[in-house]
Amino acid sequence: MAKPRILIANRGEIAVRIIRAVRELGYTSIAVYSDADRDALHVEMADQAHRIGPALAADSYLSIGAILEAASRAKATMIHPGYGFLSERAHFASAVADSGFTFVGPPAEAIEMMGDKAAARRAADRVGVPIVPGTPEPVTLDQAPAEAERIGFPVLVKAAFGGGGKGMQVVRKPEELESALARATREAQAYFGRPDVFLERYIDRAHHVEAQVFADTRGNVFFLGERDCSVQRRHQKLIEETPSPVVDADLRSRIGEAAMALAKEAGYVNAGTVECILDEDGSFYFLEMNTRLQVEHTVTEMVTGLDLVALQIRVALGEKLDLTDVRPTGHAIQCRINAEDPARNFLPGPGRVTAYREPSGPFVRVDSAVRAGREIPADYDSMFAKVIVSAENRVRAIARMNRALSEFQVEGVPTTIPLHRWILGTRAFSKSTHSTTWLEKALRDAELPEAGTPAPPPSDTRQPVPAELLLEVDGRRVPVRIFDQRRDTAPKVPSRHSAHGGDHVHSVIKAPMQGTILRVLVEPGQEIQAGDVVCILEAMKMENAIPAPREGVVTQIPVQAGENVQPGDPLVELD
Ligand code: MV4
């Protein structure tokens, strides 16, 4: 057989990921690129690269014609779709095969079946996989009220040919049903070109758990463990981990059996993910099957030692798989790093990355598609890197992720890195009491840390603007950031106390940012002058001297050295 030549019909970090697997296998990698990606990393790393069109995805990465044409030109033998873009279009999988290339993915029929969410539910039901109570077929406006009563409120209206949460509507009362149906139908038509919707009982406060399956062309199906993806916002996952902290060995084997049974029923081949929801009493229900490699496949790789992309290619070449002896060990976590500003409602901030240094060290992996000086185009998804760590258990994996994120330096674009550090420090995440709706609620209640490159402060900002100095103390390099509230701040409206002449005023010195108290330099009862440093706050790898805004007597010190503080937490109280 001639050496395989694999075209990667994708971009960004996943294209880079696939190119690496292709190179290790000794095969030829062929990249494709739009005009927005001429200088992209995946283009540089592949053995060859072919232009497929303008920046607009519809005319490049989503153009079946342009991709097949590039594949012919490059004499490709196989096409890997990555995730997103054309990866779950049954028509693409069959067009690839019809043009004489091997599709690195499942058969078009399996994609087709799972793309029809009601058909997927029926398949799950046939083989005894638990499904959420709901309608086996799409419903009409006339049928819906009776069906909803039968299922019980709250119900969820879902697009039958959708997925990923688009077009979903939660309905809590019968009188909301009609408008929710109308809206879901409209959205389904707009997103997926088909208006059909069906109903399911809505499971609240759930964990999102998904099973990784792998099947070869000889009927062998394997289960490679589950992933927990409950930290999400608007159906965008932010953190994924394996194993799920809420799945025990018994539940794991039941989820695994269910996922393998469904894969067999669907005639599934290659990598697939069976998405489940886990309710508060530990029952699991099938939701849908994703017929592609997932963004979070990496955490499964970290605990199994398997290269899932290489396995995909080997399966596509007809190789028999034997994964019976695979035993996942330890714990792995992934944080998705997006060029978005969580403090500005996750506004994407594409642009040039001016400075960039990735974390490394023991058991840290970074899958990314940027380097210093490169551009993150505005035309595509804002995720530009994934940080993945593994450790012997969850607690150590969280500590390792915190360490890795603290090493990650990105300048020029905002990032979700500070948000991840905040999430990792929450009780809900560390105790795994979070659910799929937790993050959105927590974000509403929280004061967010700043994204990497904060927006220029408005001129009347009350936030102190720090002065930065680099000191050498006893031969030790000490970067210092000074928060002096008398500098660069608008004059304050006199407070009630000081307006009264204020010989007995009380004030609280608050933490200007999230960080760790390194030292407290004052004690209760001590008289201090304006500008005296009251404590040192370590944040963003800097020692920040926190000065007193005025003279006074220290009354309370609610913090101590070693404590972690959030922005706005009281540090020292003065009278
Ligand atoms: C649900 C559900 C609760 N009950 N179905 C969202 C994406 C799509 N794959 C299915 N989704 C959900 N389906 C029932 N009957 C909650 C979700 C859901 C969700 C699921 C997985 C991951 C994150 C989620 C966030 C919100 C809602």
Q: Distance between alpha carbon 23 and the CA centroid of its chain, in Å?
A: 27
CA 34/CA 59 separation, integer angstroms: 9
Distance from the Cα of residue 453 to its chain's centroid: 20
Contact between residue 273 and residue 261 where contact means Cβ atoms under 8 Å apart: no
d(CA 410, CA 541): 14
Q: What length does the chain have?
A: 575
Q: Measured between alpha carbons, how far is 431 from 316 in angstroms, rounded to an integer?
A: 41
Residue nearest to atom 25 of ligand 1 (CA): 436
**Would you tell me how many other CB atoms lie within 10 Å of the CB of residue 341?**
24
In the structure encoding, which two tokens stand for residue 109, read together? 């029929």
Query: CB of 556 within 8 A of CB of 535?
Result: no
Q: Which of 228, 436, 443 has the most ligand 1 atoms within 8 A of CB, as the residue to mutate?
A: 436
Residue nearest to atom 13 of ligand 1 (CA): 287
- Residue closest by Cα to atom 7 of ligand 1: 165
Tokens matching residue 191: 């997103």
Does residue 243 have a cis bond before it (omega within 30 degrees)? yes
What is the rounded distance in angstroms from the CA atom of residue 290 to the CA atom of residue 88?
8
Contact 268, 213 (CB under 8 A): yes
- Please identify, by atom number, the ligand 1 atom nearest to the C-alpha of residue 436: 25
pLDDT (0 to 100) of residue 494: 30
| Cβ pair 426, 398 in contact under 8 A | no
Question: Quick check: helix, strand or coil at residue 282?
Answer: coil
CA 165 to ligand 1 centroid distance, Å:
6
Per-residue pLDDT of the chain (575 residues; tens, 9 = 90+): 799 999 999 999 999 999 999 999 999 999 999 999 999 999 999 999 999 999 999 999 999 999 999 999 999 999 999 999 999 999 999 999 999 999 999 999 999 999 999 999 999 999 999 999 999 999 999 999 999 999 999 999 999 998 777 889 999 999 999 999 999 999 898 888 999 999 999 998 899 999 999 999 999 999 999 999 999 999 999 999 999 999 999 999 999 999 999 999 999 999 999 999 999 999 999 999 999 999 999 999 999 999 999 999 999 999 999 999 999 999 999 999 999 999 899 999 999 999 999 999 999 999 999 999 999 999 999 999 999 999 999 999 999 999 999 999 999 999 999 999 999 999 999 999 999 999 999 998 876 666 655 444 333 334 455 677 777 776 677 777 776 554 433 333 333 333 343 455 788 899 888 888 888 889 989 888 887 789 888 887 777 778 888 888 999 999 998 888 888 899 999 98
Calpha distance 422→219 (Å, rounded): 45
Q: Spell out which residues line ligand 1, taking CB within 6 angstroms.
A: 132, 156, 163-165, 200-203, 206, 208, 232, 235, 275, 277, 287-288, 436
Q: Which of ligand 1's atoms lies nearest the C-alpha of 204?
A: 3
Dump the DSSP string for 434-482: --TTHHHHHHHHSPPPPPSSPPPPPTT--SPPPEEEEEEETTEEEEEEE
CA angle, 214 then 219 then 222, to 5°: 30
* HSE toward the beta carbon, residue 240, CA cutoff 13 A: 25
Determine the residue of 117, 168, 171 to mutate for testing ligand 1's pocket, defined as the one with the most ligand atoms within 8 A of the Cβ atom: 168
Closest CA to 509 of 554, 466, 573: 573
What are 227's two structure tokens?
Answer: 């992933």
> Which stretch of DSSP H or E encloses residue 331?
strand 331-338
| DSSP states along 179-192 | HHHHHHHHHHHHHH
In angstroms, how far is CA 469 from the centroid of its own chain?
A: 35
Token pair of 188 as six digits: 């389904």
- Cβ density class 102-136: b for 16+ within 10 Å, e for less: bbbbbbbebbbbbbbbbbbbebbeebebebbebbe
Structure tokens, 223 = 């289960």
| Separation between Cα atoms, residue 526 and residue 524, nearest integer Å | 6
Return the half-sphere exposure (C-beta side, CA atoms, 13 A cut-off) of residue 327: 3
What is the identity of the amino acid at 518?
Answer: L
Q: Among the atoms of ligand 1, which is closest to the Cα of residue 202?
A: 4
